[in-house]
Amino acid sequence: MIAFDNKRNQHYGPEKTHIKKNMEENKENQEAPASDEKVENDALPEEEEFELEDLGVDVPDVPLPSAEENEEVVEDKFSGAYRFAIVGIGQGGSRIAETFWKMGYRRVAVMNTAIQDLRPIKIPQENKLLLGGGGAGKNPAVAEKIFEDHREDVLDFFKKLFKGGFDRILICAGAGGGTGAGGTSVVIDIAHDLCETMGIEGDGMDSKVGAIVALPTRAEGSRVRTNSIEAAKKLVNNIQAGTLSPLVILDNERIKQLYSKLSINKFWSTANSSICSLFHLFNRIAAQNSEYTAFDKADLDTVMASGIITFGATPVPFNEETGIDETDISHAIRDNLKKNILAVIEVSTGNVAACVAIGDKNTLDNTPQESLEHGFEQLSRLLGEGSVVHRGIYHTGKPGLVVYTIIGGIDPPKDFVDPQETLPKDQENKDAE
């Protein structure tokens, strides 16, 4: 029973003092024998309908679990083998990231140190981050300091944009400018912090952070070229340390030679689209079934974890009368390795590859399996002993046959490796003496 003191009764006033008496009477009625007659509720006085506050009971604030709100999840506009988080650094890197956005990727973040380079990027404003604001003036050291000073801002930016998780982070940067050359290494470290926080990376796990880096043309000057070589060397060091894979090295000088007739407004979009489209194609294909031979996510994963990679794509000529000869496919494979837009590298140093043939049903029905096998075998011979070649065959509604290749585990270009690191161990010891 709840007791009341005089102060409490005085607080509620004379009209409330009868509550205790009524409660005792109710107790006596409960102890009496049950009656067949119904108790009339209207016999109770109106003022006896009281709240807990009327009794003077202090009700504590008990923390109750709130209704769970569904966390907003960012989803791409297509189904792929990997949920890539795309990060663009500097003007060149942001343009590449913008191209991925146009293809349907939605975990996209771009950053720059100059507002005038950030404004033209056609993605939502909330996906852009301005650091500093005064630019880096093609000085990588300035950009590196800016990114170091804003590490937590960058990490929070990624957490906000990549809600719902991701499988891999792909960092895109132009290696010649100040922001891209100076900020990339810092962002790679931040990306690893994020991956470890989300359980994507850890002890005994492969790196889930990769990069696309664009080298400048010769016309951009010697300082820009020096920036790019130093930036590329840092990325190669990451590859050798196992903290970066894959690495795609895009050579704008080769792009200029291959697309020399393109107008200014189409040049960069064509260059970016070429590499992004190939990346996108393999990501899409690895999630598709095939009634012929499937190239799956596990196959793609071995290439993505192999270090430096290169792409190629070439149409195979088809004769309505004779079909496709076995040498046509092998020639196409050799050709697409020569005409890619990536840096000059020795493909023969690679140790893993994928070759995917995509054609319309009529073309595939009239292409001997032996012709495809001949092409696959040739790729194995190009890579050398101990290499692995994954293969896939898919049909599409588009007429013709196109062969796509991706090769990984490639040695870095000599310009991007410090001479001391390439010396044999015994030679290093001699130099030390």
Between the CA atoms of 412, 373, 277 and 366, what dihedral angle is there, to the nearest 10 degrees? 160
CB 384 within 8 A of CB 392: no
Of 430 and 393, more confident? 393
| Cβ contacts of 213 within 8 Å, gap of 6 or more | 172, 173, 174, 175, 180, 184, 231, 232, 235, 247, 248, 249, 250
CATH topology identical between 78-285 and 293-433: yes
Q: Which residue has the tokens 């664009």?
A: 214
| Residue 265 vs residue 35, higher pLDDT | 265
DSSP-assigned letters across all residues of 81-148: SS-EEEEEEHHHHHHHHHHHHHTT---EEEEEEEHHHHTT--S-GGGEEEEEEB--TT-HHHHHHHHH
- Which residue, 126, 128, 83, 72, is CA-closest to 105? 83
Q: Is 199 left (phi over 0), alpha (psi -120 to 50) or beta?
A: left
CA nearest 108: which of 161, 69, 66? 161
Give 20 or 382, the one with higher predicted confidence: 382
What does the block give as tokens for 36?
Answer: 């067949």
90-111 residue pLDDT tens = 999 999 999 999 999 999 999 9
Residue 54 pLDDT class (50, 70, 90 cuts): low
pLDDT tens string 257-273: 777 788 877 877 888 88
Q: Does domain 293-433 have CATH number 3.40.50.1440?
A: yes
Q: Is 78-285 assigned to CATH 3.40.630.10? A: no
Q: Rounded to whole angstroms, how far apart are CA atoms 81 and 240?
A: 26
Helix intervals (H) in 137-214: 140-149, 151-161, 178-197
Q: Which of 74-83, 97-106, 363-372, 409-418 bottoms out in mean pLDDT, i.e. has the lowest?
A: 409-418
Question: Is it the case that residue 32 has pLDDT exceeding 70?
Answer: no
Whether residue 279 contacts residue 382, with contact meaning beta carbons closer than 8 Å, is answered with no
Q: How large is the greatest C-alpha to C-alpha distance in the chain, in angstroms?
A: 113
Determine the Cα–Cα distance for residues 156 and 174; give it in Å rounded to an integer: 23
Asked if pLDDT for residue 173 goes beyond 80, the answer is yes
Query: What are the boundaries of each domain within the chain?
Result: 78-285, 293-433
Give the model's pLDDT for residue 19. 43
172 with 97: CB under 8 angstroms? yes
Whether the predicted model's global pTM rises above the 0.85 cut: no
pLDDT digits (tens, 9 = 90+) for 296-330: 999 999 999 999 999 888 888 877 766 777 788 88
